[in-house]
Structure formats: C-alpha cells, structure tokens
Amino acid sequence: MQQIQILMVDDHPIILEGYQNVLMATKKPEQLLIIETANNCDEAITLMKRASRDRPYDLCFFDISLPPSSDGKVTSGEDLAILSRELLPQAKVIILTMFNESFRIHNILKEINPDGFLIKSDLTSSELAEAFQHILIDPPYYSSTVSNYLKKTVSSDIYLDDINRKILHLLSQGIKTRSLKEYIDLSMSAIEKRKKQLKLLFGVSDGKDETLLEEARDKGFL
C-alpha cells in the first residue's frame, strides 16, 4: 500500500470537501490517502510544523487568498508555500488559485516554482485527478491558463524585469502614471523613462498607454 500524506489549505470548507471527494474517488487501488485540511494560515502553519517533526506531507495544496496568520507574518498561500519549502523540503507544492493575471502567474512561478499550478477556472474534477497523479510521478503540472502564459512569454523575444512587469500590471489596473510612485520605489522621471522603454520594446508608435497595454496583452504579459 502506498500511503500518501496530503495537506489542503483553502478558506472555503466546501471547496476542500470537493477536492477531497475527487481525490478519494479517483485514487488508485494501491493508494491510501491521508488528507488533513486547514482554513487559514495559522492552522496550516501548526500542521506543517507538526508534520516536519512527525510524518512529513508528500503533497501540499495551497489556495493563494487566505486569512493571514495572527502575527501578520504569513499573509497568503504564497507565503505558506515558501514556508513549506523550508519546513517540508521533500513535499510537492501545488498552487490552486482564482488569480489568472499574467503578473500574478509570473510571480508565483518565479517565487515558488510550484510542482503543480492550477487556475480554479480551468479546473474540472477529472483534471484535478489527472494533475494529482501526474505530480506524484512527474512534476510539474500546469493547467491551461498557466501553460498558455508560458508558451506566449517563452516564444516572445521581449524580456521584462520585475519593475517593468509591475508598471504594466498597475497601468492595466487603471492606476494613473502620476500615482505609480506610490506603488513603486522610483522617481517620477525614472518611471517615465521605463514607460518610454516599454513602448519601444512593444513597438508602440502612437505613444498611447492603451496601445501599450493592448500589445502587452497580445504577447501574454498581461
């Protein structure tokens, strides 16, 4: 019998129940799944610390949007995933999230490099079951939105650093140029310079922010 220890973290109990039901219904006959769940960062931290001393988890599923820990140090599933890499280095990390903007996908891939990355709007029961079995044997597994993002950005010859990605993301959220310095630790002239570079990179000839955002979307950066 293959015993598989699993931690699932989501602040919606009904979603956790759904995930558990899918995995239990589709597991292989020789697999014994031991699933523990947490609804917030504090519960997850307690379970991970206990598992690191006792029987480590084989897989950890993290939702991104979670109530923060009571000390305020862990504020999301991203923070939990990074902590799990320290406490449970052998555990496979799976991110499940509603966030599907390229900026968020890029950051999660860069900061966490998860073994599984599933956008909830892509997910069906059969895909969750397939992802689970795939990640056990041959990670990583990415759902279609993540795969499409990677295909577009890999095939693009445009390289953007994190600050330029953030500028694009903020502009796409409707933040005006004059307000960008509230979110980015740069002078106004440095931000303007970067915007000019971005327009050159994306071949924007009319100088408009709207055209820049259209081009960035088209190439998978938004």
pLDDT tens string 117-168: 999 999 999 999 999 999 999 999 999 999 998 888 777 777 888 899 999 9
Number of folded domains that form the chain: 2
Determine the structural domain holding residue 202 and report its residue range: 162-218
Q: In terms of domains, do 16 and 86 share one?
A: yes
What is the pTM assigned to this prediction?
0.76
Give CB contacts under 8 A, 24+ apart, made by 81-89.
Answer: 81/112, 81/114, 82/111, 82/112, 83/45, 83/48, 84/48, 84/57, 84/60, 85/112, 87/48, 87/49, 87/51, 87/52, 88/48, 88/51, 88/52, 88/56, 88/57, 88/60
Residues 174 and 128 in one domain: no
CATH of the domain at 140: 3.40.50.2300
- The answer to whether residues 145 and 188 belong to one domain is no
Interval 30-58: pLDDT, tens? 999 999 999 999 999 999 999 999 999 99
Residue 157 resides in a domain: no
